Amino acid sequence: DLTLDSNRPLVQQGHSGYSAKGPGQGSHYYSLTRLQVQGKLNLDGRAVAVHGSGWLDREWSTSVLSAGQQGWDWFALQLHDGRDLMMFRLRRDDCDRDPYDHGVLVAADGRSQRLGAEQFTLTPLRQWQGPEHADLVPAAVCQSGGDASGSPGSGPWPLEWRLQLGDEQFRIRAAVLDQRMRTSVQYWEGLVHVYDTAGEAQVGRGYMELTGY
C-alpha cells in the first residue's frame, strides 16, 4: 500500500517523447525519475512501514529490433548527488556501436539533457555464467546472443559494467546475481548498485535490463 509523489517534472525521452531504436523502429516514452515513496508492506500478516525512492517508466513500442540488432542493455540510475540517468545500448551482430543508442541526464533541479551515443560508453567488465556459478568472471567486450546452441535466455549475463559519462567514470554492479525473468523469453532485470571509479564507494543505485543473451 504505497503513495508515490514526484517533485520533478516529467521527462520526455528521446526527441520530445519519441525514442528512436532504428530505421522505422521506436517508442513513445516518458519517465518520472525520482518518486518519493512511502506506505506499508504486508509481510506474513505483519505491516511493515517503508519509504524510499522510485522510478516510473511508460513506453509504447514497436517491440521489433532492426536487422543486425541482437538485444539491448538498459539502465535507470539514481545517483546520491541528486542526478538521474537513463541510457541504453543496442547490441549489434558486428559489435559496432549502434548510432541509435541514447539516454538522458536529469540534474538535481529537474532539468534534463538528452545524451547521444557519443556522450557515454557502457563496457561489460564481468559476467555471470548461470545459477551453477557463484561468482563473476571476466566478460567479453563483444557479447553474442544465446549460448552455442542459440537458446535464448541462457546467458552468460554481463552483471558488472563501466560507465564513461564525459569526464566521469562509474562502476555498475548487480545487487543480486540471479534476477532473471522467467517469462516465455527469458531475460535479466533487476536492482544494481553504482560505485565510484575504483568500484569501492557506493554513489547510487538503479535498475538494469538485459535482453537477447
Cα separation, 119 vs 132, in Å, equals 37
For 137-175, write each residue's pLDDT tens digit. Answer: 999 888 755 443 345 577 899 999 999 999 999 999 999
| Cα 66 → chain centroid | 20
pLDDT at 102: 97
- Reported as half-sphere exposure (CB side, CA atoms, 13 A), residue 64 has a value of 6
Q: Which residues pair with 205 in a beta bridge?
A: 78, 193
To the question of pTM greater than 0.85 for the whole model, the response is yes
3-state secondary structure the chain: CEEEEECCCCEECCECCEEEEECCEEEEEEEEEEEEEEEEEEECCEEEEEEEEEEEEEEEECCCCCCCEEEEEEEEEEECCCCEEEEEEEEECCCCCCCCCEEEEECCCCCEEEEEHHHEEEEEEEEECCCCCCCCEECCCCCCCCCCCCCCCCCCEEEEEEEEECCEEEEEEECCCCCEECCCCCEEEEEEEEECCCCCCEEEEEEEEECCC
Residue 19 has which C-alpha cell?
525514442
Identity (one letter) of the amino acid at 101?
D
Residue 130: per-residue pLDDT: 87
Per-residue confidence band for 186, with pLDDT thresholds at 50, 70 and 90? confident
22-81 pLDDT, tens digit per residue, is 999 999 999 999 999 999 999 999 999 999 999 999 999 997 889 999 999 999 999 999
pLDDT in tens, 105-147: 999 999 999 999 999 999 999 999 988 888 999 998 887 554 4
